[in-house]
Amino acid sequence: MAIDGGTEKSTFRLSYNRNEAEGVVSNNKFTKNAFDLRVTHKFTKFLEVDMSAAYTDFNGKNPPRLGGLDAFASYNFGKLYSWMMPRNYDTKYWSQREHYTSQFGGVPNPGNSAETNLAPETRFWFSLYENNYLQKEQLLRGRVAFTVTLTDWAKLILEGNINNIYTRSESKELGQGQNFTGGLYSLGFQTKESNMQKWMLMMNKDINPDLTLSGYIGGEAQRYKTTYENSSTSGGLSYPGNYYIANSVNQPTTNAGIRNRRSFNSLYASADVGYKDMLYLQATWRGDWSSTLTYSNGTGNNFYTYPAVSLSWIFSETFKNSLPSWISYGKLRGNLAALGGDTDPFRINPGFAFNGYSTANGQTVPLSTYSSGSVLQPNLKPQRKISKEVGLEMRFLENRLGLDVSLYQDNTKNQLLDIGTPTESGVSTIFINAGNIRNRGIEISLDATPVRTKSFSWNTALNYAVNRNMIVELYPGRTEFNLGANIGEISTWAVVGKSYGTLRTTIHSTAFEGTDKNDPRNGLPILQWRGDSRTAFPNRSNVWQDVGDINAKFRAGWDNTFNYKNFSLNVLLDAKIGGDFVSLSYRYGTHTGVLPNSLPGRDAQNGGIQWTSQYANDGGTYDDGIIPAGVFKPGQIVDKPGGGTADVGGMTYQQAYDQGLVEPSHLPQFFYRYGSSSTGVADYWVFKNSWVSLRQVALSYRTPAKFYEKLKLNALSLSVVGRDLLYLHNSLPYNFNPASNNSNNTAYSGEEGFLPMMRSFVFTLRATF
Amino acid sequence: MKSVSKYIAVMGFAAFAFTSCEKQFGETNTDPTIVTKPDIKYLLSYSQERLMTYNGGEWIWEGMEQLFRFTQHVTASPYEVTGNVNGRYGVYYSQILPNLFEIRRQISTLPDKDQYQKMQEVTYIIQALHGIKVTDMNGSIPYRDAIQGRYETNYSPAYDTQESLFDTWLAELDQAIGVLSNTSLSNQLTYGNSDIFYGGDWTKWVRLANTLKLRIAARLNNQNAAKAQEIFKQVMQNAIGPIDNDDAQLKYTNANFSPFGNDINYRSARYGSTSIINFLKAANDPRLPVYFESNDLTGSYEDTLAKYSTTLPAFINPADPWIKFQGAPADWTTNPGVAGYISNAFAVGNTNPGNTVSRYFLISPINRHFFSPRYNGATGNYTDVLVTNAESCLLVAEFIEKGYGNGIDTKGTAEDWYKKGVTSSIKTMNAIAVAAQSAIGFSGNGDAEINDYLNGPEVAFNGTNDLERIYIQQYLNFYRNASEAFVLVRRTGYPRNSSTYYAREPFNEQIPRRWWLTDPGEVNRENWNAAMTEQGFTPNAQDIPTLSTQRIWYDKNAPEFGQGQ
């Protein structure tokens, strides 16, 4: 809701916004109230003021958590439903309190022989319904800007603003032990303060009718500081289910301090020159002094600049007399920019920090060690990125058709990052200025109005983007760098000469390679053999192998708007084609047998081989036999059915089976080993993540004047918008959610348990009084 | 003009503001919670605390799940070895060594560094203490070139052979013993309470160093018996000598720590093996109720059995006074009949009207509160003794029994040291149980019970298999130290398969004799590859058959499991 008004000297606008939402997972909700006030006033002919103040209050509860306590589901929604629970799991039954609580209180304990409630993975329901995680945030923003008109071509702006966020977080966990012992309560406060002061002199002058000149010079100072304070119970709650800090079995723990703080001083200038409305040149320069690149003694390479220049030529204006009439507009542009970057606060000034206490032998002694396991390269420099772009924009047929093409290349040098070192050196990483990472690409967009009549029009826009990056150089003596984005045992690497985002692992199997190029065994995985289950399965190679590339081939989007009288319909599709995705749920779903790919061979009905075992201590009859594809490693000894051993090295399993040296492998054992945390291989759970999504369909209606005037309104419109409606194409198996990426860190491409796909519908009614 | 001067004033102000702000940038970018010159005593406490408390994962994935099954102290479901073993390796280089090196570096910059000589030597003893454990399961490891990343920028340390590691540690321990025993050094400062091992008592540190030398000698014995003998003689002739009293044990008590928590049954519950429980019962060992929990055959079970005319399964003797302690086979596949009673209770009775079914679990679990005093909401306190007086005494007894004490004053016979060691073990284990509030073996000082035990036929020296008795008592003493238990069983081949005294049970599983080191990446791959090849290891091999046949250097002449001489 907003009201505004004004006179010739002042204006004001006051708005209030309230947002209440409930999540798709139980117990998850938030409420937000936002107030915004803006006032402008002209004091005199040359002095104006613009002020605004905003206050937002946010209260949120229980966002769904996708981490985990251990290898099982614990509180991870995604893990529980994608691979832990069988398909016949009765959610309604197991989510009732009497089924997730033990008669002894707490979570049922299978290790207690007297336990009566033998329910599976009850921790999940227990923490979903009995725990509460609350967060309250208050945002306060204020801004004042004075504009002083110095002459008719120069204005001076003086501005200051503050932006503070106050957060209070609470965690309330009910004890999961017998009699509800255990549990936790924590209370934390965080204050994020920032302020900025800025001055800017703006100039705008036509030197002569053909030449316009405008520009500005300015400077600003920014200050940021985040402080925090956290208290938590320790060792459980003395009175179960009561949430306050004093209710702690052991002494509560407290932590407080400055999380970070940084300061920037900047200076900048820009000049824009325009010639005859067809040639434009813009040059800008900015210099930043950053505290985060300053050493404690005040020295440091803490200054970096961002010069940039761009030129655009509207050639359709220059050649307007000689161009054919179907070209309405044409512009060629090029720009070259340098950008700088700094690092995190405190990073370059390490030392020794306290690390808690030891309460050994009945005493309390402080512990201390290095504040960081990272060692710094001396004389660190700011990051630098050089960006180059050329573009062409053209419009045809009186703006009915438009084209925009842009080619770009960025080279990022001296990136500040941590590069891993062997742990035996006593440090875990070196913080360095690293090499040269090149990013280049092309973006093309086409827009058109194919149909335009008095009451109906159709606008369409198509865009296509390709981006390729490559590590040109890293660091002397280093060709590879682990980006630290691990999904299972597959990690993302930057490798010199390859793209940023190569997936690598040591647990892929080794492919057989015979001396003969046409050997039929070539490409089959080398197998391992377990004597207890008499099952063969692919053996981990334990050497690093590349298993994928997270980068997409291209991205595209297609936006259509249809207007008919007062109705407007918008349909948007977008797509990403290519890019590998690591699916840990697929691995574990195969390992536990809950996914359909683990069916073939599981029993006679599903094509399992039937046989009676001839092994002396067996003799059972089975119907779950398979012949795994693969080659036994050289020197592999197996127990023969009927006694004795044989060397099956170099034989395929089929060959060994045909010779009677092995019996069929049991399918459940095979898949168990194929995906387990100790023997599982990476051969089958990296997929291309290509998708085409019906991203949005929006229908809106502007009521005609004679209707809203009757209601004494100035305007009235209704709309209904559907977002993320469906995937027209999804290359992930079993309808896995393509948007389930584990993190928004760009190095990640994969999931470890995910929420289901969600679509949303928004209904809006907008009225102006 | 007014407007132009206004403009100049603003510029001038801005320029001034910038220069004074810049000087504060250094202060802004410094975390007020860190210092550049630490007090070294806090650094020592950190290394010591980490050494004592990193072992939660190690107990769960290595000690209980693998090593104690291989030694046959416990029996449990045989899970395969996971990548979570060998936690001892990473923690050595990332948590223990860095602070110790930093302490020496800080001392070297102090003007009064001569007063810190004793404080400096203590760091070497800690390095050897954990280093021996690391090489036990890994063979060649970096040591002389290690921890040089922070100041010397050496990120590719070479791997030292096991033989040279022991030489280096023996030299460092000898130097430490020399300096710490030297009473003529003046004005030596101490760590005081920050030394959570010994509170700054130099004599106890010397005893620990001597016992560590005995540990090394025990490991060298199969490769170089002469050297082992020489080390033994040095230790016995040292003025202070090895640990020989309970006060000098390396003890760690902490009410706020337990490595297991409630995870003592993680993946599978553990039970006593048939061999260990049968021996403890036969010898009337006071440690039996300390180590193992009773089964369900307590209280009025006999009446219930009589009511339903049921007899217990054949492997249980109904007249056994210790019937409430029963073991299960170390390898379930060798005796599935008995092993079945681990997960399945023995049911007595029926569901006819007026009758009930009583379920009795027959196999004794390990005493969970002994290992994890806060298990299931209990309120006991944790104690760990990393280097016991018993181990020290029994090593001396072993060396004397082997004849290494000829020609020197061994301050007692093998039997004297044997009795001292056994007494200490029983008293120490009982004290741990008292603190943990778990079942105890005796109340009071235990002298009567221990005396009976020492004079019993299962324990007293008989002139025939005294060395075996020493080995078995070492074995029983290592019930809280899976790592040392495994080294003992591996180097001696005891308990022996065919022994009439204490027989090793049949075990069909192949046992790895070491762990593996993974490829460290391009920076140090060359050194790692060279070390693997030099030891005859297949790089990247993590399978049990390879790990059970490719041995570390000092293990190369040792007998197979169960085949001691």
pLDDT at A706: 87
Q: What is the pLDDT of residues A176-219, one digit of tens each?
A: 888 898 899 999 999 999 999 999 999 998 888 888 899 999 99
B252 touches chain A (CB under 8 A): yes
In whole angstroms, what is the distance from residue B336 CA to residue B321 CA? 25
State whether B29 and A353 contact (CB < 8 Å). no
Alpha helices per DSSP H over B317-442:
336-343, 368-371, 389-401, 414-436
Sign of CA dihedral B229, B230, B236, B240: negative
> Nearest 5 degrees, angle CA A697-CA A701-CA A707?
170
Amino acid symbol at A716: L
User: With contacts defined as CB-CB under 8 Å, which chain A residues touch B24?
Assistant: 263
pLDDT at B11: 59
3-state SS class at B493: coil
The CB density around residue B457, as the number of other CB atoms within 10 Å, is 8
User: With contacts defined as CB-CB under 8 Å, which chain A residues touch B27?
Assistant: 296
CA A709 to chain centre: 47
Mutate to test the interface with B, among A255, A425, A475, A633 (most CBs of B within 10 A): A425
Q: What is the pLDDT of residues A307-324, one digit of tens each?
A: 999 999 999 888 888 888
A contact residues 493-552, partner B, Cβ 8 Å cutoff: 506, 528, 539-544
pLDDT at A81: 78
The pLDDT of B470-475, averaged and rounded, is 98
Q: What is the pLDDT of residues A376-417, one digit of tens each?
A: 998 899 999 999 999 999 999 888 899 999 999 999 999 998
State whether B29 and A359 contact (CB < 8 Å). no
User: With contacts defined as CB-CB under 8 Å, which chain B residues touch A345?
Assistant: 28-29
A contact residues 550-609, partner B, Cβ 8 Å cutoff: none
In whole angstroms, what is the distance from residue A394 CA to residue B379 CA? 79
Identify which of B4, B523, B541 has the shortest CB distance to residue A422: B523
Q: What is the pLDDT of residues A406-427, one digit of tens each?
A: 999 999 999 998 889 999 999 9
The answer to whether B160 touches B243, Cβ cutoff 8 Å, is: no
**Tokens 């209280």 appear where?**
B299
Q: Which residues contact A257 (CB under 8 A, 6 or more apart)?
A: A227, A228, B32, B33
User: With contacts defined as CB-CB under 8 Å, which chain B residues touch A638?
Assistant: none
Query: Which residues face A115 on adjacent strands?
Result: none
In whole angstroms, what is the distance from residue B148 CA to residue B97 CA? 11
Q: What is the pLDDT of residues A347-364, one digit of tens each?
A: 999 999 999 999 999 899
Give the phi and the psi of residue A531 in degrees, each rounded to 5.
-70, -30
pLDDT higher than 60, residue A75: yes
pLDDT higher than 50, residue A246: yes
Query: Which residues face A313 on adjacent strands?
Result: A279, A332
Complete DSSP assignment for B130-177: HHHHHHHTTSSB--TT-S-STTT----PPPBPHHHHHHHHHHHHHHHH
Token pair in block for residue A466? 């390709």
Query: Which residues face A391 on adjacent strands?
Result: A333, A406
Q: How far is CA B149 from CA A477, B11, B40, B159, B547, in A?
A: 15, 48, 20, 15, 31
B contact residues 365-424, partner A, Cβ 8 Å cutoff: 376-377
CA distance B386 to chain A (A): 14
In whole angstroms, what is the distance from residue A285 CA to residue A293 CA? 20
A375 touches chain B (CB under 8 A): yes
pLDDT at B80: 84
User: With contacts defined as CB-CB under 8 Å, which chain A residues touch B14?
Assistant: 199, 219
State whether B377 and A262 contact (CB < 8 Å). no
**Confidence band (pLDDT; 50, 70, 90) for A678?**
confident
pLDDT higher than 80, residue A689: yes
SS (H, E, C) B245-312: CHHHCEEEEECCCCCCCCHHHCCCCCEEEHHHHHHHHHCCCCCHHHHECCCCCCCCHHHHHHHCCCCC
**Tokens 């016979």 appear where?**
B413
Nearest CA in chain A to B29: A346
Nearest to B136 by CA among B525, B558, B529, B507: B558
> Nearest 5 degrees, angle CA B103-CA B108-CA B113?
100
State whether B52 and A479 contact (CB < 8 Å). no
pLDDT higher than 80, residue A633: yes
Q: Please give the model's pTM, rounded to 2 decimal places.
A: 0.90
Looking at every residue in chain A, the average pLDDT score rounds to: 92
CA distance B146 to chain A (A): 5
3-state SS class at A44: strand
A contact residues 334-363, partner B, Cβ 8 Å cutoff: 345-346, 348-355, 358-363
H or E element, residue B15 = helix B2-28
Give the phi and the psi of residue B550 in degrees, each rounded to 5.
-90, 110
B contact residues 197-236, partner A, Cβ 8 Å cutoff: 199
CA A532 to chain centre: 43
The CB density around residue A327, as the number of other CB atoms within 10 Å, is 15
Write down the ipTM of this complex.
0.90
Nearest to A3 by CA among A29, A51, A38: A38
pLDDT higher than 50, residue B375: yes
The answer to whether A168 touches A188, Cβ cutoff 8 Å, is: yes
The answer to whether A246 touches A252, Cβ cutoff 8 Å, is: yes
Chains A, B: CB contacts within 8 A come to: 243
pLDDT at B9: 54
pLDDT higher than 60, residue B97: yes
Nearest to A333 by CA among A319, A315, A358, A317: A315
Give the phi and the psi of residue A174 in degrees, each rounded to 5.
-80, 145
Nearest CA in chain A to B148: A425
The CB density around residue B39, as the number of other CB atoms within 10 Å, is 13
User: With contacts defined as CB-CB under 8 Å, which chain A residues touch B256?
Assistant: 235, 250, 359
B contact residues 71-90, partner A, Cβ 8 Å cutoff: 80-83, 90
The answer to whether A30 touches A61, Cβ cutoff 8 Å, is: yes
B49 touches chain A (CB under 8 A): yes
H or E element, residue A367 = strand A365-370
A376 touches chain B (CB under 8 A): no
Percent of chain A with pLDDT over 70: 99
The answer to whether A441 touches A469, Cβ cutoff 8 Å, is: no
B22 touches chain A (CB under 8 A): yes
State whether B21 and A265 contact (CB < 8 Å). yes
B262 touches chain A (CB under 8 A): yes
**Confidence band (pLDDT; 50, 70, 90) for B441?**
very high
In whole angstroms, what is the distance from residue A362 CA to residue A205 CA? 79
CA A498 to chain centre: 22
**Burial of A138: CB neighbours in 10 Å, binned 0-12, 13-18, 19+:** middle
User: With contacts defined as CB-CB under 8 Å, which chain A residues touch B4?
Assistant: 150
pLDDT at B209: 98
Amino acid symbol at B68: F
**In the sheet that A480-487 helps form, which strands lie side by side, from edge to edge?**
A480-487, A490-495, A500-505, A545-549
User: With contacts defined as CB-CB under 8 Å, which chain B residues touch A362?
Assistant: 253, 255
3-state SS class at A111: coil
Q: What is the pLDDT of residues A574-605, one digit of tens each?
A: 999 999 999 998 999 899 888 999 999 999 99
Nearest CA in chain A to B96: A426
Nearest CA in chain B to A178: B376
In whole angstroms, what is the distance from residue B483 CA to residue B481 CA? 6
CA distance A42 to chain B (A): 18
The answer to whether B441 touches B271, Cβ cutoff 8 Å, is: no
The CB density around residue B259, as the number of other CB atoms within 10 Å, is 20
pLDDT at A120: 79
pLDDT at B1: 44
The end-to-end CA distance of chain B, in Å, is 108
B97 touches chain A (CB under 8 A): yes
**Burial of A4: CB neighbours in 10 Å, binned 0-12, 13-18, 19+:** exposed
B10 touches chain A (CB under 8 A): yes
User: With contacts defined as CB-CB under 8 Å, which chain A residues touch B39?
Assistant: 368
User: With contacts defined as CB-CB under 8 Å, which chain B residues touch A300?
Assistant: 26
Q: Which is higher by pLDDT, A165 or B376?
A: A165
CA distance A759 to chain B (A): 40
Identify which of B25, B80, B253 has the shortest CB distance to residue A360: B253
User: With contacts defined as CB-CB under 8 Å, which chain A residues touch B520?
Assistant: 422-424
